[in-house]
Amino acid sequence: MLLLDPLRAAPAARVVNVVSSITGGVDLDDLQFTARPYDGFKAYAQSKDALRLITWGHAERLADTPVTVNAVAPGFVRTEFNRNATGARAVMIGLSARLFGRSPAKGADTPLWAATDPSLRGRTGRYFADRTEKDGGPRDPAMVLGLRERCASALVDA
C-alpha cells in the first residue's frame, strides 16, 4: 500500500507476486490459525492463495494506471523452505525436491521474465507458470474485498 503512489507515478511499473501451484483454504475468519490447529502445509497453501487474491485485487484497483500486477509460480524449486518441517509429509517433500525440484536459477526465470519482458507491458491480473499464462484460480470479489479489509485492519492494529 505504501508503494502505490510511487508505482502510479512511474511511466510503467510492474508488481510480480510469487505464488505457488499449491493453493487453497483461505479462511478469512482465521488467517492466523488461532481457531484451528496449525498445519504448516495448509498455512503455506492459504498464504499463496491469499497472495493471488491480493494480486487480483490490486490489478483491478490499478487497472486504469500504467501499473501491472501479476502472479507467477516459480515451479517446484529446491530450496530449504521445508527445513523445519517434520513428519511423513516433510520427508516426502524433501525427497521430491531432491529428485524433481528445479534449481533456484530456473525457479527465478518466470518471475524475472514477468518483471522485464516487453511483451507483457499492460497485461495485468494474470497468472504465469513456465512463461505461460494459465488459469489463476478463483477470483471471488467477496474474498478479495474481505482479504483487503483484514489486511487494512492488521496495518491499523500494528
Residue 112 covered by a domain: yes
Grade residue 86 by pLDDT with cuts at 50, 70 and 90: low
Whether the Cβ atoms of residue 74 and residue 48 lie closer than 8 Å to each other: no
Residue 45 covered by a domain: yes
Q: How far apart are CA 84 and CA 95, in angstroms?
A: 14
What average pLDDT does the segment 90-119 reach? 81
Catalytic residue among 33, 41, 44, 76: 44
Q: Is 70 exceeded by the pLDDT of residue 73?
A: yes
Residue 7 covered by a domain: no
Residue 151 covered by a domain: yes
**Does the annotation mark 44 as catalytic?**
yes
Tell me if the pTM is above 0.75: yes
Range of the domain at 24: 13-157
Q: Is 80 exceeded by the pLDDT of residue 92?
A: no
Residue 2 covered by a domain: no
Q: How far apart are CA 18 and CA 71, in angstroms?
A: 6
CATH number of domain containing 54? 3.40.50.720
Q: How many domains would you assign to the chain? A: 1
Grade residue 136 by pLDDT with cuts at 50, 70 and 90: confident
Q: What is the reported pLDDT for 103?
A: 85
Q: What is the reported pLDDT for 2?
A: 81
Q: Is 60 exceeded by the pLDDT of residue 146?
A: yes
Residue 6 covered by a domain: no
Euclidean distance between the first and the last CA atom of the chain, given in angstroms as a whole number = 14
Residue 8 covered by a domain: no
